[in-house]
Structure 1
């Protein structure tokens, strides 16, 4: 499914990016049991199926299983609960509980309606191939997006930030180099048309992965290159591609880092910058390395 392109509303941002919780019994999916699939509101990744939904009388949609690999479970900031986030983009979904005895699976994913988009079973999107996500940094995100968006099989790209400590960073804050964030691009692609490894090859073909202090004339920690992986399989594939570069005599300094949260850039000015201006990237140049 291609992700929704509508920007998050302020309320959705509070839930998805700042980990707030919906008021119970107010969500639009609490009492919905129609056949279909629930997708991430932010990136469009499929998360839950309606056949796994049940009424837990708790005020939020409840599921006793997630689509395999679609949801990550993390220790909650309260030190007690277990948080659920979208494995593809890190969006906050809700919490998971076990041992309550609601179903034979003995698991309850308690999820905010605002974190999801329901796709009915008869909607062609519900039957579409599952999408995958790559989050990649290679200097100024204008150029990174320009080249990655041109790869066949890529469904959408979005510029933003990852890797730092500041929540909901702005372009001006990241530009100082003091937030820990890197400018990066979230790439949603159809694995039936292009593999994760092919996305990485396109990525490495577009920038100087041996430059450690930035990219081209853009110098600073926010312009370093990094692959933010969402699971160990993607980490393993990235390591193999880096080994391919080393076997060719290159010395890549691109970091491999687990993805915590991807923060989309909110200003439209930075989105698909070169497509709007008609210019070409000043610090990215395609050449076939892999």
Structure 2
């Protein structure tokens, strides 16, 4: 696929929204297959497209396993992203009665590419195979900023994990009553960067010997913790901790099964990228 344009990056990576009625695929009725603009994964068939009059392309169904739903940063809507690469597509709404399926995927045109004439996903564009990692190490702004720079990282989202409260907000997490940690979800291409490389970098961009805090940020929500999604990730994390302890580091990082990850509010996403500044409590220190 071609590199993303600034507008495509604003929508797909930074989770923006194109202007209504402006997209190439809004008033568009050709038969074919809609793919993810970022990675090429097949997402929607033209047979499932309909005119909802909302100003964006609308679909009442997706290809099996192609789209992932998650809570939007505004806390109200349900965001839809490409299941293969995590690229932002738009939002999904149910119960509107617009089609018999009673579902509307409201998708940004710039998140899509179109394959004319195709009705089912073929092997023409290989689907990007990604994996996901979750790391907590102090304020999520700095962890997000530094991990997102690595080649092979597809997307990094700041959010909350490890707590007991549904739909946590930043204020609730900071109250230390929800049990959540500020964390990041890292979607990466294992063909370009390994989980071990990411985990090593995680240990080198924060202080894994500081309990319940990072730099001047103190509190349980700033704890050092790895949330694993597979036995392999757990094994790697525990081995790296053992290596650091053998080097004399008194590592306090916890290793925990990953639970529900809640994306943080939109103003927390790409914080340092938007501000044009550098992290104040995260810096690289070689440890391996």
TM-score bracket, normalised by the shorter chain, equals 0.5 to 0.7
- The number of residue pairs the alignment matches comes to 201
Q: Cα gap change, 1:38/1:262 in structure 2, threshold over 3 Å: closer, same or farther?
A: same
Flag as ranges the 4+ runs of structure 1 deviating above 3 A. Answer: 3-8, 41-46, 112-115, 117-120, 122-125
Query: 1:249 Cα shift?
Result: 1.4
Match of 2:210 in 1: 211
| Distance in 2 separating the partners of 1:124 and 1:211 | 49
Determine the structure 2 residue equivalent to 1:230: 229
- TM-score computed with the length of structure 2 as normaliser: 0.62
Structure 1 CA distance for aligned equivalents of residues 120 and 262 of structure 2: 28
Name the SS for the 1:227 alignment partner: strand
Q: Does 1:194 align with 2:226?
A: no
1:4-50 deviation line (CA, Å, top 9, x unaligned)? 65589xxxxxxxxxxxxxxxxxx933xx7x7x76342446445xxxx
- TM value normalised by structure 1: 0.62
Which residue of structure 2 lines up, in the alignment, with residue 240 of structure 1?
A: 239
1:129 offset after TM fit, Å?
Answer: 3.1
Match of 1:55 in 2: none
Residue in 2 that maps onto 1:11: none
Task: Answer yes or no: is the 8 Å Cα contact 1:37–1:120 preserved in 2.
Answer: no
Q: 1:28 to 1:197 in 2, by over 3 A?
A: same
Q: Report the CA distance shift for 1:216/1:231 in structure 2 as closer, same or farther (over 3 A).
A: same
* Aligned-residue offset at 1:261: 0.1
Alpha-carbon distance in structure 2 between the residues aligned to 1:120 and 1:275: 38
Q: 1:276 to 1:4 in 2, by over 3 A?
A: closer
1:240 Cα deviation from its structure 2 partner = 1.2
Against the structure 1 CA distance between its residues 4 and 220, is the aligned structure 2 distance closer, same or farther, given a 3 Å change threshold?
same
Match of 2:160 in 1: 161
- Structure 1's 136 and 120: CA in aligned 2 closer, same or farther, altered over 3 A? farther
Matches within 5 A, 1:15-164: 28-29=60-61, 38-42=66-70, 44-46=82-84, 121-122=121-122, 127-164=126-163
RMSD after superposition: 3.2
* Gap regions ≥5 residues in structure 1: 9-26, 47-111
